Amino acid sequence: MTVQQALRIVDEDEAGIDKAFKRDVLKGLSEPQKAVPARWFYDERGSQLFEDITRLPEYYPTRAEKEILRAHSGDFRAAIGPGRAVVEFGSGSSAKTPLLLRAIDPSAYVPIDISGEFLRASADRLAEKLPDLPIHPVEADFTRRVTMPAEIDGTARLGFFPGSTIGNMVPRTAVDMLREMRATLEAGSPAGTPPLLLIGMDRIKSRKVLIPAYDDAQGVTAAFNLNLITRINRELEGTMPVDAFRHQAVWNDDIARVEMHLEAQRDIIFTVCEREFTMAAGDTIHTENSHKYGRRSAAALLLAGGWTPLERWNDHDSRFMMILAEASPLRSAP
């Protein structure tokens, strides 16, 4: 067993409440268009429901990305080379990771995830599959700069950010995060070997494909969305009536994103951390954006975040793409 104790950095108050969760929810519910950042979906139940989503017939991104990882393992090996430490941002169940790790022969694996128990369980499972690979889990919010384990000091890095999780951020936040990832990976990198980033991004496509992917027939995505209310009630002393909300998925064509909302079905009053909120029937809480990209918009986003795209691979239907990028040199030339 090479899995190490995860480093716990969640900031809690005296009552054991996650301060960042409380701040985001109280602020988000106070705004004219109520909104809660999507990262708070992922408590243990939310992480499990997301795993269930990835197996739904309507939800194509996971299958398409796995297809790319399988079909292009030789390309990844050639472009990335062996011996890098693979740092996975928001590793979840690490389901796709063995495909990459087997392809490129890395020296270590550092999964980063905000859901600690899930992280440790996944790391244990991975250690069984790849017993010789050192694994150093880090429980952290990967959108901020993360201190890497000392064990990978001086080792070249590959950031791995699959699943089009970047799509859950508005461009400004995505750019900030790409810059933070770069800083996370650069600290302790060997001179002259810039970090690489392998990132999955979902492509723009027909509404007929997109909406069912986010509003499936079995109602798993609805349960995933509604679980946020259950989490708020449990962790923030909330009194939100779960049965008054309905899951909603809409395509915002101007911004090229699927939006998820929780729509109030009747007028309601509830409290969270003793603060009172009201919603009229039809009001929504905006809970997630899932941005979709074209080739050029993906490149523009990466460049703004300090990463130069090197290569790009699509699945056979061109629904999804994986892009390999390199930390761009900082220079003033155009």
Q: Which is nearer to ligand AVI, 184 or 290 (CB)?
A: 290
Note whether 183 and 316 are within 8 A (CB). no
Sheet strands (E) in the chain: 7-8, 34-35, 85-89, 108-113, 138-139, 157-161, 196-202, 245-252, 257-264, 268-272, 275-279, 284-291, 307-314, 320-327
| Angle CA 66–71–77, to nearest 5 | 100
Instruction: Give the pairing of strands 7-8 and 108-113.
Output: unpaired
Q: How far is the CB of 174 from ligand AVI (least distance, A)?
A: 12
Stretch in the footprint of ligand AVI (CB under 6 A) among 154-162, 163-171, 188-196, 266-274: 163-171
Q: Which is nearer to ligand AVI, 221 or 248 (CB)?
A: 221
Regarding 164 and contact with ligand AVI (CB under 6 A), the answer is yes
Regarding 195 and contact with ligand AVI (CB under 6 A), the answer is no
Site residues for ligand AVI, 40-59, by CB under 6 A, read: 53
In one-letter notation, the amino acid at residue 294 is G
Those residues whose C-beta lies under 8 Å from the C-beta of residue 195, and which sit 6 or more positions away, are: 156, 157, 158, 159, 182, 185, 186, 189, 326, 327
Among 47, 93, 165, 227, which residue interacts with ligand AVI (rule: CB under 6 A)? 165
Per-residue x/- track, 217-246, ligand AVI (CB under 6 A): ----x-------------------------
Note whether 142 and 179 are within 8 A (CB). no
Stretch in the footprint of ligand AVI (CB under 6 A) among 143-151, 158-166, 296-304, 305-313: 158-166
Q: How far is the CB of 116 from ligand AVI (least distance, A)?
A: 18
Q: Which is nearer to ligand AVI, 84 or 247 (CB)?
A: 247
Note whether 293 and 179 are within 8 A (CB). no
Q: How far is the CB of 246 from ligand AVI (least distance, A)?
A: 15
Which residue of this chain has its Cβ atom nearest to ligand AVI in the complex?
A: 290
**Size of the residue set binding ligand AVI (CB under 6 A):** 11
Regarding 167 and contact with ligand AVI (CB under 6 A), the answer is yes
Which tokens belong to 22? 């409380």
Regarding 163 and contact with ligand AVI (CB under 6 A), the answer is yes
Q: Which is nearer to ligand AVI, 168 or 284 (CB)?
A: 168
DSSP-based three-state secondary structure for 298:
helix
Q: How far apart are CA 89 and CA 141, in angstroms?
A: 9
CB atoms near residue 318 (< 10 Å): 11
Binding site for ligand AVI (CB under 6 A): 53, 61, 163-165, 167-168, 214, 221, 288, 290
